[in-house]
Amino acid sequence: MISVATSSSLPSTSEFSLPNRFHTDRRTPWRWVFSHALRNWHLWLAALTGSITNALAAGWGPMLIGAAFNFILSQPADLGYLGTIALLTAVSQGSRGLLQLMRNFSFELLAQRAERDVRDELYTSLLGKSMTFHSLQPVGDTMARATNDVREVNFMFSPGFNMVIGSLSFLFMPLILAPRYHPSLIVTPLLFILIYFILLRRYLKSLEPVTDEVRLSFGLLNTRLAEALDGIEVVKGAAQEAAEKQLFARNASRFRDSSVRQGDIEARFLPLLMLYIAYAFGLLHAILLYRQGLLQIGDVVGYFGLLLMLDFPTFSSIWAYSRIALGLAGARRILEVINRENNLDQNTAGFQGPMHGEIEFDAVSFSYTANQQAAGGELNLPDLADEGARQQPPALGVVRPLPPIEPAPPDDSLAGLSFRVPAGKTVAIVGQTGSGKTTLARLVNRTYDVGSGAVRVDGVDVREWNLETLRRGISIIEQDIFLFSSTIAENIAFGQPDATPEQIEAAAKAAQAHDFIMTFQDGYQTVVGERGVTLSGGQRQRIALARAFLTDPRILILDDSTSAIDSATEDKIQRAIYQAAKGRTTLIITHRLSQIRWADLIVVLRRGRIAAIGSHDELLQSSEAYRRIFAG
């Protein structure tokens, strides 16, 4: 009896089998950003130290100048004391350069590390998402989040937090140092700070939806751009360049309009007006105290110098808080993707034994609509305890009568599929377009999970397998072959990076790819274009076959993988597939009679249900649906 761990006992909802090195607080964008930042607490300490001491040195400067004024007016002939004041002024203001460097360097390093870690966490999360997620998520929008939004998080720290924290230190210095001259002089900086934060709160509240729209509109712009470039052959083939240009212009206009609205809000930043009112009120207050004999002229000069420190926080707030708002909007979009739950579980504690290749479909039903709705929820596994009470599916070669097929499931959905394939046998899956052939194949390696019923490999529900172990034992070759923009050798060895050149060449020969590869000047080191656009369809498919042969899977699934191969090459490919199928379970989705005839079992799908099961000769006699496929 095989013992496996149930996935319901696992806390992880990620499909990806590599651990994430980040343990971040993902409840809110603020918590998430700072959980990244606080790992570099020593940089925060250095930045805060540099910021506060820089502000103290900045406040010390006008006070020294005020003291110099008072001394000149009282003792104009004594230059020694003035020299001391001049030296102290030079030292205090010269040290500000080092202190600003410490603040700026610390925040910049903090920003770069935060961007690196956020990008790493996002990429790890994207690799771990299920195919349901990737089917629904536009690639262009994902790229916008992974590049521009992550960059906005960088800018959130530097110059965003850099300027904000630096300016806040300047903001409070007049409040702290002004009472040195007279206690009542605290009134102006105190009122300014109170009004400043009230207006700042309103400013940020009005800025938030606009910055969200800026990031959203950029994502839409990038999404359509990526789609147009990815489908450039379709665009040119339909002569739709002008229409695409107009659509791009509309998306760009939306991004421009939202950016202009952001600029309009920034332009109406009221603390700028309050700053000059504070200057006038504070100077008037100091002069009145001077006339009453409570202040000296140098005290007025020093106090007004302290008020001038309010200039930096006011002007920097116009764009520093915008950078924080944009960074927060970007963080919100990134976190939205990371937090979007998967409906697949990697099941790290699941079964990891050797795979033999027996496949069993037991009353399997699946719907893309239901699968998409379930994306983000927890995986609800059926009760597997009472398997003996279930009706056993037909063994290989047993012909089942045509079942009733009404009401029909939606296109590419499956309903009530039951059959079993012993290890090492070859099964052909045939049916009209939209009957669910590819969907059936994707349930075997858990690209998607069944809605009800169970798919078992070697008697173990695929959901109870360790996902990495399961997928390493299964190789799928689809009609739409994806090749990376790298060498042919690297593409063949993608599933086995440590393969030797001899192993790569042997796999290529088995897939009938060696001869055409050697016609290239660089042979196996030839770099193919993105998605293999520099190769023909047949060449791409043979490289994909070589990739599958190299990994030596126990289950091989060929999804119409020879559709682009010419008839002269087809016989060679058929012999290669026939040899590759020996000793491993093979599912072939095809319309080619030459591949169907030598299959051990043929499963005929019609509208998501099994119309008939049997050998080629049996089905020609018993199944009208099977005969219709070849008659058409």
Condensed to tens digits (0 to 9), the pLDDT of residues 399-408 reads: 343 344 334 4
Mean pLDDT throughout 157-163?
A: 90
Torsion of CA 351, 356, 362, 367, to 10 degrees: 70
Q: What are phi and psi of 185, to 5 degrees?
A: -70, -5
Q: Which residues contact 164 (CB under 8 A, 6 or more apart)?
A: 316, 317, 320, 321, 324
Q: b/e for 130-153, b at 16 or more Cβ within 10 A?
A: bbbbeeebbebbbbbbbebbbbbb
Q: b/e for 343-377, b at 16 or more Cβ within 10 A?
A: bbbbbbebbeeebbbbbbbbbbbbbbeebeebbee
Q: pTM value?
A: 0.66
**8 Å CB contact between 14 and 342:** yes
Closest CA to 14 of 333, 470, 468: 468
Amino acid at 224: R
Mean pLDDT throughout 467-484?
A: 82
Q: Residue 169 is inside which H or E element, if any?
A: helix 162-177
Mean pLDDT throughout 65-90?
A: 81
- pLDDT for position 409: 46
Closest CA to 575 of 23, 565, 553: 565
**8 Å CB contact between 159 and 321:** no
**Angstrom distances, CA of residue 321 to CA of 51, 256, 258, 325:** 17, 20, 17, 6
Amino acid at 396: L
pLDDT(306) > 70 = yes
Closest CA to 604 of 442, 412, 402, 455: 402
Give the domains, in start order, of the chain with CATH numbers.
Answer: 29-339 (1.20.1560.10), 356-381+389-473+553-632 (3.40.50.300), 480-552 (3.40.50.300)
pLDDT(423) > 60 = yes
* Spatial distance between the Cα atoms of 212 and 204, rounded to a whole number of angstroms: 12
What's the token pair of residue 577? 């597939």
Assign 141 a pLDDT band (cuts: 50, 70, 90): confident
**8 Å CB contact between 177 and 64:** no
- pLDDT for position 580: 67
More reliable by pLDDT, 451 or 135: 451
**8 Å CB contact between 556 and 357:** no
Residue 257 DSSP SS3: helix
- pLDDT for position 172: 92
- pLDDT for position 579: 67
- pLDDT for position 412: 55
**Angstrom distances, CA of residue 507 to CA of 215, 469, 533, 623:** 47, 22, 22, 38
**Paired sense of beta strands 609-614 and 601-606, if any:** antiparallel
Name which of 509-513, 574-578, 599-603 the model is least confident about. 574-578
- pLDDT for position 458: 92
- pLDDT for position 110: 92
- pLDDT for position 239: 79
Amino acid at 406: E
The per-residue pLDDT for range 311-366, each reduced to its tens digit, is 988 888 778 888 888 888 889 988 888 887 665 667 778 888 889 899 999 999 98
Assign 395 a pLDDT band (cuts: 50, 70, 90): very low
* Spatial distance between the Cα atoms of 111 and 154, rounded to a whole number of angstroms: 5
- pLDDT for position 456: 93
The per-residue pLDDT of the chain, averaged, comes to 80
| pLDDT over 70, % of the chain | 83
- pLDDT for position 530: 63
